[in-house]
A and B are shown apart, each in its own frame.
Chain A
């Protein structure tokens, strides 16, 4: 089955830049989406279609994709950005089944 691989954890100091990667064989052909999930809460969409930011999401969140890797960047990370982050995409089969990445715990301290 299709897999999206992320690093388990990323640590960053407040004000610094955090980069979270997501690797998947179908990413050259499929969009990546990014979700933030804080403890005890439902996920929130922070990036869609590789690099677009939904209304209400701070500008410090940005996304990019090249080849088999998508990247979420938090520029000037804030303490409130501490959360689990998941990439999401679809596989290349005809049914477009969805797949979440393995998840990355971002610690800001």
Chain B
């Protein structure tokens, strides 16, 4: 059964760094794009960016460009989302989702369970 398994919840302080992960099981991450989606408390979904683990080609939303880094290690079927200096406003649930296409037919058929990131002093 295809699954995207995300790393566990994190509690961090402002200014700290963080890297969360999304591992694909029962399929090769290399053949699909992986997107990251933010869901802030009480707000809507936000598309952050998408990566093709096969060659690490990455597209960022202008809203998140320079704020986060999306990466992948195809050898272990894992994609990552990282911050170098967290802010309280980064508090949110973060989802990864896979798509066969990274262009204008992005189609997220499987989603991770979500990683809750809490940033508080």
Contacts and interface: CB of A to CB of B under 8 A. Distances in A.
Contact of A100 (B44, B104, B112): B44
Contact of B47 (A42, A98, A102): A98
Contacts of B45: 35, 37, 43, 86, 100, 103
A59 interface: no
Interface stretch (A16-24, A60-68, A69-77, A89-97): A89-97
Contact of A45 (B105, B107, B113): B107
A54 B110 CA distance: 12
Contacts of B60: 97
Contacts, number: 67
A33 B47 CA distance: 13
Given A1-B63, A98-B50, A42 B104 contact: no
Give the contact-size bracket for chain A.
20 to 34
A31 B105 contact: yes
A35 B44 contact: no
B104 A48 contact: no
A6 to B, nearest CB: 9
Considering the complex of A and B, which 8 residue pairs feature the smallest CB-CB distances, nearest first? A98-B47, A103-B44, A42-B111, A100-B45, A90-B104, A96-B103, A96-B104, A48-B107
Interface of B: 35, 37, 44-47, 50, 59-63, 95, 97, 102-109, 111-114
14 contacts: A33-B108, A43-B108, A43-B111, A88-B47, A90-B103, A96-B103, A96-B104, A96-B106, A97-B61, A98-B35, A98-B47, A98-B61, A99-B61, A103-B45
